[in-house]
Structure 1
Amino acid sequence: QVGFAGSRVRPADADPAAYTAEAQVAAGAADALVGPEELRDTLGRWLRLLTRPSTAPVPPPPPLGATDLPATGWEAVGRARSPRRPRAAAYLDACLTDRVTVSGDRCGGTDPEGMLCGFGEQGGRTVAYAAQTGTATRPAGYRTAARLVRLADRLGIPVLTLVDTPGAANDAEAERQGAGAAIADLFGAVAAARTPVTTLVVGEGGSGGALALAAPGNTWATPDSYFSVIAPELAAAILKRPPEEAESTADRLRVRPQDLAELGVIRGVVDTPPA
């Protein structure tokens, strides 16, 4: 059992399943379940990864998808939304080895489908990562990423963030879970980090849900991505334009990677083809 309240002091009608290790992992209060036979190796991996500080920033990974630049803003949006485009897991597999996972926001939630967090090895040093997976990120995902960034900052470990979301989850449940506060907290964690943070936009970079992961002064983009304060369709709706004007709105927003570099929003476009 794992819990704040011991078996002799908890309410008599309390669900005993809530006080198990499995329940604590599901609620985001613990990172993982580890069998007794795996404890020694697991502890060794964590100690090795967390005791290797580095002051050098993580270089942005090379693109795994398209290497030519989109001709229009709408083409950039289409590429970023393509189901054939490489996602975060592919980038993490390509640039990091021996990964271990950080899971849970320590506030009762997890977002394993929307945010991948943990530590891995790159060229003999440790790198922390927080990577969106192309879905609408939940509040627990942002809080987990903020926890990861602060832990890496305390340990002097550089951070790599991968941006890929159409935007933060905006349903009623996300509001009840404190979406705005969670996004703001991640903004603060990234901005306040003393350890180097590198960001690569690998797909959709939609709204504040994407901006929260972007490193000030060290954000890059792949050729099959876009980065914008709002999606073109939503921008058209706010401007009271008909839906068919979303395509031209994308051009006006200047969301292409090369536009972002020209505007100074990002440092540049990574264009080295995969080996």
Structure 2
Amino acid sequence: MHNFLDFEKPIAELEGKIEELRHLSDSGDMNIAEEVTKLQGKADRLLRQTYARLTAWQKSQVARHPDRPHFRHYIEQLVDDFTPLAGDRAFAEDAAIVGGIGRFRGYSVMVIGQEKGSDTHARVKHNFGMARPEGYRKAQRLMEMADRFGLPLITLVDTAGAYPGIGAEERGQSQAIARSIEVSLGMKVPVISVIIGEGGSGGAIALASANSVIMLEHSIYSVISPEGCASILWRSGDQAKEAAEALKLTAQDLKKLGVIDEVVAEPLGGAHRGADTTITAVGDVVERLLVEMRRKDGTVLKQQRRDKFLGMGQKGLS
């Protein structure tokens, strides 16, 4: 059974009835295959209708779904011989950001991303994907290594934001994020970033200053979370739905605004209902972009990346 979100309750009820009927059918009590087929068709239609008109707040919930594929799932399916590289060579190892060298469909690459963890133990270990300064300094080290050895960089973004704790601020959180952006913008290798879940604030842009930024259909990317925005503007998290709409944080809005370059479709009902299909689709897009970028000179790639970000917000300005 799936973990259903609040707005999926009608779908959950239908799928629950289908499971009950299938159980009765399996026990040999009665032949109810026709009824199951009818209910399944109704559930599929309801799922399609629901996901065709998701609000920004509902998309935020889908982006945070606990069963959504995480960084490690992408690595397991897309990257062969992945060798993780640890530590910032200054303070500590930060498990919120995972990075290393591997082979992506025959290409040697550097892969960096946030890992949220799939169970309680893993979530605590990875600090729910919220990196401290040492995590971003590790990312900088790996970016510089990729640039030195001519390895294309692929980043997978999935974080609520950088960790806001006192210790992180004392160790220079904002400087670590800014420096990550600086290093990324200066690289002369292809840089491709994929928002696979949440793209939260500076914690996301630190890994997403790329030549091409891709978003999954139901992922989100924003300067602040809807709850954080609501707590600042309305002094209450109760207006998170309104904040989500105002932030224009959906993939569709950001594509129109020119903040991202491409949207990757998810299976009906979200990536958590078809993880393998989603990961393969992401891999196909990344491979296509990588082939295109490898034909370009490093200086051109660097300039294109800088121009891309300097040009944001210029639409409609004289």
8 Å Cα contact 1:73-1:247 kept in structure 2: yes
Match of 1:109 in 2: 92
Listed one character per residue, the Cα deviations across residues 148-178 of structure 1 (whole Å, up to 9, x for unaligned) are 0110001111000011110001111111222
Per the alignment, residue 4 of structure 2 pairs with: none
The answer for the alignment partner of 1:262 in structure 2 is 256
**For each residue in 1:61-115, what CA deviation from the matched residue of structure 2 results, as whole angstroms up to 9, or x when unmatched?**
xxxxx9x676211011101111111100001112110011111001121112x01
Which amino acid letter does the alignment assign opposite residue 72 of structure 2? A
Aligned to 1:156: 150
The separation in 2 between residues aligned to 1:189 and 1:119, in whole angstroms, is 18
Tell me which residue corresponds to 1:58.
Answer: none
Aligned length: 208
2:56 maps to 1:73: yes
Whether the aligned pair in 2 keeps the contact of 1:160 and 1:199 (CA below 8 Å) is yes
* Alignment-mate amino acid for residue 238 of structure 1: I
Checking the alignment, whether the CA contact within 8 Å between 2:213 and 2:261 is kept in structure 1 is yes
Letter in 1 for 2:59: A
Alpha carbons 1:227, 1:256 under 8 Å: kept: yes
Cα separation, partners in 2 of 1:108 and 1:242, compared to 1, 3 Å: closer
Q: 2:141 aligns with which of 143, 147, 154?
A: 147
Aligned-residue offset at 1:186? 0.5
Whether the 8 Å contact between 1:97 and 1:120 is mirrored in structure 2 is: yes
Structure number with larger C-alpha Rg: 2
1:70 touches 1:223 (CA, 8 Å); kept in 2? no
* Number of the residue aligned with 1:130: 112
Report 1:1-275 matches (<5 A): 71-112=54-95, 114-134=96-116, 135-271=129-265, 274=277
Aligned-pair RMSD on alpha carbons? 1.7
Q: Which one scores higher on RCO, CA 8 angstroms, separation ≥ 6?
A: 1
Tell me, in whole angstroms, the C-alpha distance in 2 between the residues paired with 1:272 and 1:225: 10
Contiguous gaps of at least 5 residues in structure 1 = 1-65
Do the aligned residues in 2 keep the contact of 1:100 with 1:120 (CA within 8 Å)? yes
Counterparts of 1:268 and 1:123, CA distance in 2: 21
**Distance verdict in 2 for CA 1:97–1:171, change over 3 Å:** same
Q: How far, CA to CA, are the matches of 1:183 and 1:142 in structure 2?
A: 6
- Percent of aligned pairs with the same amino acid: 38
Please give the secondary structure, in 2, of the residue aligned with 1:162. strand
TM-aligned CA distance change 1:70 to 1:204, over 3 Å: farther
State the partner residue of 1:19.
none
Normalising to structure 2: TM-score of the pair?
0.63
Distance 1:78 1:69 in 2: 15
Measured after TM superposition, the shift of residue 123 of structure 1 is 2.3
2:218 and 2:266 in contact (8 A); partners too: no
| Aligned residue identity for 2:98 | L
Equivalent residues of 2:181, 2:207 under 8 A apart: yes
Q: Specify the SS of the correspondent of 1:175.
A: helix
| C-alpha contact 1:70 1:256 (8 A) present in aligned 2 | no
Confirm or deny: 8 A CA contact 2:112 2:154 kept in the other structure: yes
TM-score, length-scaled by structure 1: 0.72
Given that 1:160 and 1:198 are in contact with CA atoms closer than 8 Å, whether structure 2 keeps it comes out as yes
**Structure 2: how far apart are the matches of 1:185 and 1:109?**
18
Note the C-alpha offset of 1:203. Answer: 0.8
Cα distance in structure 2, aligned partners of 1:224 and 1:94: 21
Q: CA 1:103–1:255 in structure 2 vs 1: closer, same or farther (change >3 Å)?
A: same
CA distance in 1, matches of 2:168, 2:229: 22
